[in-house]
Structure 1
Amino acid sequence: MSDSAPFDAKYVSLLWAGPDQAEVIAGLHATLFDPPWSEESVRALLDHPASTAFVALVGGAPKTCVGFVMAQLAADEAEILSIGVGKDWQRKGIGKRLVEGVARAAQRAEAKKLHLEVAADNDGAMELYRSCGFLGTGLRRGYYQRPGGQAVDAVTLSLRL
């Protein structure tokens, strides 16, 4: 997608994701995260009865997967375990649509709070989560290991549903 092309995230389709989407989610995850999650680990998560997940699709037929969110529900709380938007599709509102979708699903499952953690140096994600109403709840020092051995803190955030 060209940077100059207008795009409206309301034209993104959010679809429930099950184990049959593990390959496409793992493939996109691998382009965004190091280390990536394996297809088998994504499939196991999506197959778990407490999981909820969405893929973001754009285009005609066939549609292209440009994002995903995977979360888990436990009692009256939910946690986003991983969320990602393809590099060419970032900063177009897709991440916000994914967060809002999983928040609605968690709320319908009677969750009262939605939690997540994010690398302290991920400014784009921090901006997204704050725009969705998440508030900081803690810090895990040196949680993420970057290539070369650099440790980065994880910021824990929560959203009251």
Structure 2
Amino acid sequence: MAKLFSRRSEISLARLEPDDSDSLQQLHARVFPPGWDAAAFANFLHDPHGIGFAARTTDKPKKLNGFVLERQVAGEAEILSIAVAPESRRKGIGHALMDALLRQLYQERVQTLFLEVDEHNRAARALYRHFGFVETGRRSGYYQSAGKRTDALILRRDFKHPDDRLFNEL
């Protein structure tokens, strides 16, 4: 699908497949301990309303460097999870994953995309701002890390499709 270049290897993006469940679970647990189990990922990947993308290096194609997973219903989508391995950050992987997802959702004529992000996750918030997300709400004490609760910001991004009547009237 897409190729990026890091200092040592090339990164490729591809659609997530049901056999990616174990790799997703392992990376998710590293980034968001304790993480979801492999069965939860298998359920998401078998859901006809969901899609996701994986980022891997071409020199280690079995190693998952990052992923994004979303679900959509009735013109709305929600990012369920996006993660980049700590050693793979600041190489454009999160940006590439978001770009691939947004392009796919645009092609599928999704109208609105939602996500939740920890209020203290500055890197993620900057990424989402770059892609046009705006804050629409807050879930108090939604995340727990190291025994401490933090708020989740609810973010939204609307898509405008050129052949939509509403878009043409603007």
TM-score (normalizing by structure 2):
0.84
Name the CA distance, whole Å, in 2 between partners of 1:147 and 1:61.
Answer: 32
Q: Which residue does the alignment assign to 1:151?
A: 149
Where 1:124 maps in the other structure, the secondary structure is helix
Q: Which residue does the alignment assign to 2:19?
A: 20
Name the CA distance, whole Å, in 2 between partners of 1:135 and 1:65.
Answer: 29
Name the CA distance, whole Å, in 2 between partners of 1:12 and 1:135.
Answer: 29
Equivalent residues in 2 for 1:9-158, closer than 5 Å? 11-60=10-59, 62-148=61-147, 150-158=148-156
Q: How far apart are 1:63 and its partner, in Å?
A: 4.8
Contact (CA 8 Å) 2:12, 2:58: kept in 1 or not? no
Residue type at the aligned position of 2:27: L
Residue type at the aligned position of 1:152: T
Name the CA distance, whole Å, in 1 between partners of 2:112 and 2:133.
Answer: 10
Q: How far apart are 1:61 and its partner, in Å?
A: 5.6
Residue type at the aligned position of 1:64: K
Residue type at the aligned position of 1:98: L
Structure with greater contact order relative to length (CA < 8 Å, sep ≥ 6): 1
Q: How far apart are 1:91 and its partner, in Å?
A: 1.5
Contact (CA 8 Å) 2:49, 2:73: kept in 1 or not? yes
Q: Give structure 1 regions of 4+ aligned residues with deviation exceeding 3 angstroms.
A: none
Name the CA distance, whole Å, in 2 between partners of 1:81 and 1:117.
Answer: 8
Q: How far apart are 1:62 and its partner, in Å?
A: 3.6
Identity percentage over the alignment?
37
Where 2:33 maps in the other structure, the secondary structure is coil
Name the CA distance, whole Å, in 1 between partners of 2:13 and 2:50.
Answer: 16
Name the CA distance, whole Å, in 2 between partners of 1:106 and 1:100.
Answer: 10
Residue type at the aligned position of 1:160: D
Where 2:90 maps in the other structure, the secondary structure is coil
Unaligned runs of 5+ in 1: 1-5
Where 1:121 maps in the other structure, the secondary structure is coil
TM-score (normalizing by structure 1):
0.89
